[in-house]
A = this chain, B = another copy of it.
Amino acid sequence: MKTSHNSKDLEKEIIENAKQLFIEKGFAETSMSDIAARTGINRPVLHYYFRTKDKMFQAVFGSIVLSFVPQVQDIILQKDLPFRERAGKIIDAYYQTFIDNPCLPMFMIREIYRDPGHLLAVIHELQLEQYLHKISESLREEMAAGLLKTVPLVFVFYTFYGLVAMPFLSRDLLPAAIPDTSFEATFALWRPHIIDQLENLLYPQA
């Protein structure tokens, strides 16, 4: 081992760089040249490791989905905590992820829009079905027990993701349209509002 890398390290380094670029610019507007340049290697090396751009994206997409999804599992099942507190914790978990990587919401929406198959494949191959099932069942149980209002589960996801993602989807528009607003100040007020809205959707005695 003369260099600081062996093949496995290089592969991981490529994936990490590809991940960042795909998240930032999306699949279509990220070129193999971009990824190679960022990693400091030649284009053919990428094809040696992944053969095609699409296979490369698939290898990266799973890792992105994982960074997007898993931190909620424990929270939602803590049924001793009141709904309001669990909602707040989940929102904070997502916002932590999104503030670290503000392009993630747009990336997810864009790529799911382009081809939902990628997401479904990843869900299957990483065995996330049971994870989703657990969350769905948990909600359904609390609805059946009268602890939550009975509404279609899709509405919970629409409301949650719609409200959480919105500030990131419209990123540069807010400062451009209303010059003297800080994201932090807006978020500090927006967070309790999301909780209010979820409570309004799900809480019987609101």
Q: Is A162 an interface residue (CB 8 A)?
A: yes
Q: Is A45 an interface residue (CB 8 A)?
A: no
Among the listed B117, B159, B170, which residue makes an inter-chain contact with A163, where contact means beta carbons less than 8 Å apart?
Answer: B159
Encode A176-191 as 1/0 by CB contact (under 8 A) with B. Answer: 1110010000100110
- Most central of A117, A119, A120, A173 by chain B CB within 10 Å: A173
| Chain B neighbourhood of A44, CB < 8 A | none
Q: Is A161 an interface residue (CB 8 A)?
A: yes
Complex Cα gap A171–B110 (Å): 11
A180 to chain B, nearest CB (A): 12
Among the listed B112, B158, B174, which residue makes an inter-chain contact with A154, where contact means beta carbons less than 8 Å apart?
Answer: B174
A101 to chain B, nearest CB (A): 15
Asked if residues A166 and B174 are in contact (CB atoms below 8 Å), the reply is no
Q: Is A29 an interface residue (CB 8 A)?
A: yes
Once A181-B154, A193-B155 are accepted as A-B contacts, the answer to whether A116 and B200 lie under 8 Å apart by CB is no
Q: Is A201 an interface residue (CB 8 A)?
A: yes
The residue of chain B having its C-beta at the shortest distance from the C-beta of A164 within the complex is: B162
Chain A residues engaging chain B, CB cutoff 8 angstroms: 28-29, 106, 109-110, 112-113, 116-117, 119-120, 151-152, 154-155, 158-159, 161-163, 165-167, 169-174, 176-178, 181, 186, 189-190, 193, 196-197, 200-201, 206
Minimum-distance CB pairs A-B, first 4:
A162-B162, A162-B166, A200-B200, A158-B166
